[in-house]
Amino acid sequence: MDEVRWLSEVESFAWRNFVQAYHLLERQLEQQLQRDAGISHAQWNVLVVLSLAPDHRMRMTELARKVVVSKSSLTYQIGKLESAGLVRRERHETDERGIVAVLTPEGAELQASLAPGHVQTVRTYLIDLFTEEQLGALGEWMRIVKEKADT
């Protein structure tokens, strides 16, 4: 086995702060969504992805990939959203084994009504802390990480 390349002090500093910042930002987003609508950040992500999809519908397998969760986790979240009348499941038109998640009008309305508070939280705890140039760099760094991790 190859020898481990331990993190340097600078690398460790960057890694620890990234992890802590991510979890703290996630907590702020979760609290805002729970307070405003009683939904989780995972459920919010489902609503957003479906709101952007053609006809507000997407195959469950594609939706799981887009929201970066396992199929079983997505099934659980869709069940919660379905119980609340925000999403429904339908059979795929041409693939009898396929299931499609569909954003209901109530789900679209809730997503639209929550968007301003969500954006304000994102601005407060991330966007407004940086200059345009810093955000461009951050976006590029996260794109690189995303592409590497999505292999």
* Amino acid 131: pLDDT: 98
Per-residue pLDDT of the chain (151 residues; tens, 9 = 90+): 689 999 999 999 999 999 999 999 999 999 999 999 999 999 999 999 999 999 999 999 999 999 999 999 999 999 999 999 999 999 988 877 889 999 999 999 999 999 999 999 999 999 999 999 999 999 999 999 999 998 8
Token digits of residue 101 = 């998640």
Q: What is the pLDDT of residue 85?
A: 97
What span, in angstroms and rounded, lies between the C-alpha atoms of 59 and 48? 15
Query: In the prediction, which pLDDT does 151 show?
Result: 83
Q: What is the pLDDT of residue 1?
A: 63
- Burial of residue 5 (CB within 10 Å: 0-12, 13-18, 19+) is exposed
Query: pTM of the full predicted structure?
Result: 0.90
Domains of the chain: 9-123 (1.10.10.10)
